[in-house]
Amino acid sequence: MQIPIRINPSSEQSLQQQVFDAVRGLILDGNLKAGAPMPSSRALSEQLQVSRNTVILAYERLIVEGYLETRPSVGTFVNSDLPEQGLFATGSEEREAAVPDRLPLAGFRGARPAVVNPNRHKLAVDFWVGRPDPHTFPTKAWRRLMLHHLSTGGSQLTEYGDPAGLYSLRLAISEFLGPARGIQTDPERIVVVSGIQQALNIAARLLIRKDTNAVVECPCYQGAAYVFDSYGADLRPVPVDEDGLDTRQLHDIDARLAYVTPSHQYPMGTTLSIVRRIELLEWANNKGAYILEDDYDSDFRHNGSPLTALAGLDCYGAVIYMGTFSKSIGAALRLGYMVLPSHLVEPARTAKALLDNGHSWLDQAVLADFLTNGHYTNHLRRIRQMYRDRRDCLIDALVEYFGPVQLSGLEGGMHIVWHLPDDLPDAAECQSLAENAGVGVYSLDGGAATDCGVPGPRDRTLLLGYSSLTPSQIRDGVVRLSRALPAVSESRIASRASR
């Protein structure tokens, strides 16, 4: 008895593996039926010209895996319990291709926020938003702390930890938040998360079900709008003006939550005024709503002191505060935190545990020391000055090459907003023209923001991040930009010619 197997002696795979795969394939394809007799190991070894031991080992594995069975002093057979008909009668690739939509996804509405610029490698100068300067990464301190914790971590390196996060890190964060953001909290109210994106998921899991009303800023950060939408929320966009979210338009809206970026509205860069902060808190209290405060880049306040966070003003237990180290140290760390009203702490811890059983220990231990030893304060002082200088450089260069420019969002953060003059094309066109010239500048859509489908004058708004570029790169970028954008206005042409 022979079976249709071929062996390739020059293959990278062992002969034993080839025999195993071939026999298994014959069984799964229905060419060897349940209960069929197999050739003896001697016969198959002669057929294939391989050692008998090779066949025996392959048979043993096929027996262990249940494809074959032996009957003492009779021989080896295909497992008679296997289903009768051929199991996988044709090649697997075609079959999967034939059922591309085996099932609709269960109500999953998903759009992906654009946190990475897909064209970044084509650009000479990229004003992409919200990027720290890679050279500011505190490599030296990080290395030292990492080596220390790797040597002394012991079982903390191998075991699960508290899903709410390492206590020492939560303590360090709580001590930072008092002076920095005016938030009095204790470590018990903090949950360590892998960035604000995860914090949004935790809040969404607690507060959103299908058709839950969720107020978002218009325009809004994509990552927030998309995640609420993916959980079935009914988005209620409320416009943003120069004082931030227009709270006067909230009164008629019943919602379970409002998502806001009060320190430096994303993308428009405005700061929520104290009057509106109070109105927002009162609205939340009246409606029984929660406020999700996304404080993504509040570490950078260029003019005056930082404003007290909404969470620092909250006396209703209505504010869920979300902070991150993505902007101040690096997004690749994936470390952030939430500060929760006390009655939401336990549900949030459970939601975090269900999501991923807590964050990586080593990164948390290193960051805790980095905060506690004063490294972070020094680090912030250094990069604050650097980013302020870069902001000034960008403003100067824009004025020099484009004349009087209308800018906003200057008080803080890592990007500015340029309200385009009438003689320039709209923002999407500017983005495209600039890209062709090797410069990245961004319309709201291109810059991870969304207008939630509400049309507005936003198509004349251009976002320029400055924090990751040196002054000479910034100037170079603006020069390139001035050449790339059509100069339709006489005065601008004159202004350029005189240079």
Near a copy of itself in 211-270, by CB under 8 A? 212, 223, 226-227, 230, 256
How many other CB atoms sit within 10 Å of the CB of residue 312?
19
Q: Confirm or reject binding of residue 124 to a copy of itself (CB under 8 A).
A: no
Q: Confirm or reject binding of residue 35 to a copy of itself (CB under 8 A).
A: no
Q: In whole angstroms, what is the distance from residue 13 CA to residue 30 CA?
A: 24
> According to CB under 8 A, which one of 19, 38, 44, 142 is a site residue for a copy of itself?
142
CB of 428 to a copy of itself, least distance (A): 23
Q: Which residues contact 230 (CB under 8 A, 6 or more apart)?
A: 108, 109, 110, 111
Nearer to a copy of itself, 122 or 209 (CB): 209
Nearer to a copy of itself, 72 or 110 (CB): 110
Per-residue burial over 248-272, b if 16 or more Cβ lie within 10 Å, else e, is eebeeeebbbbbbbbbbbbbbbbbb
> According to CB under 8 A, which one of 23, 32, 169, 208 is a site residue for a copy of itself?
208
Q: Confirm or reject binding of residue 295 to a copy of itself (CB under 8 A).
A: no
How many residues sit in the footprint of a copy of itself (CB under 8 A)?
A: 122
CB of 242 to a copy of itself, least distance (A): 13
> According to CB under 8 A, which one of 3, 206, 437, 479 is a site residue for a copy of itself?
206
| Contacts of a copy of itself in 86-115 (CB under 8 A) | 87-88, 91-92, 95-96, 99-103, 105-108, 110-113, 115
The pair of structure tokens assigned to 157 is 């390196």
Q: Which residues contact 413 (CB under 8 A, 6 or more apart)?
A: 263, 264, 269, 297, 300
Residue 260, phi then psi, degrees to nearest 5:
-135, 155
Nearer to a copy of itself, 477 or 482 (CB): 477
Q: Confirm or reject binding of residue 294 to a copy of itself (CB under 8 A).
A: no
| Contacts of a copy of itself in 297-336 (CB under 8 A) | 303-305, 307-308, 313-318, 326, 329-335
| Structure letter (DSSP) for residue 497 | H
| Structural element, H or E, at residue 192 | strand 190-193
| Structure letter (DSSP) for residue 459 | G
Site string for a copy of itself, 451-470 (x = CB under 8 A): -----------------x--
The pair of structure tokens assigned to 238 is 């409320």
For 346-355, the CB contacts below 8 A with 24+ separation are: 347/206, 348/191, 348/202, 348/203, 348/206, 349/163, 349/164, 349/191, 351/201, 351/202, 351/205, 351/206, 352/163, 352/164, 352/191, 352/193, 352/198, 352/202, 353/163, 355/198, 355/201, 355/202, 355/205
Site string for a copy of itself, 358-397 (x = CB under 8 A): xxxxxx----------------------------------
Q: In whole angstroms, what is the distance from residue 273 CA to residue 456 CA?
A: 22
Q: In whole angstroms, what is the distance from residue 342 CA to residue 352 CA?
A: 16
| Contacts of a copy of itself in 154-183 (CB under 8 A) | 154-163
Nearer to a copy of itself, 362 or 484 (CB): 362
Q: Confirm or reject binding of residue 205 to a copy of itself (CB under 8 A).
A: yes
> According to CB under 8 A, which one of 50, 55, 131, 469 is a site residue for a copy of itself?
131
> According to CB under 8 A, which one of 10, 49, 73, 151 is a site residue for a copy of itself?
151
Q: In whole angstroms, what is the distance from residue 333 CA to residue 367 CA?
A: 10
| Contacts of a copy of itself in 340-359 (CB under 8 A) | 341-343, 347, 349-351, 353-359
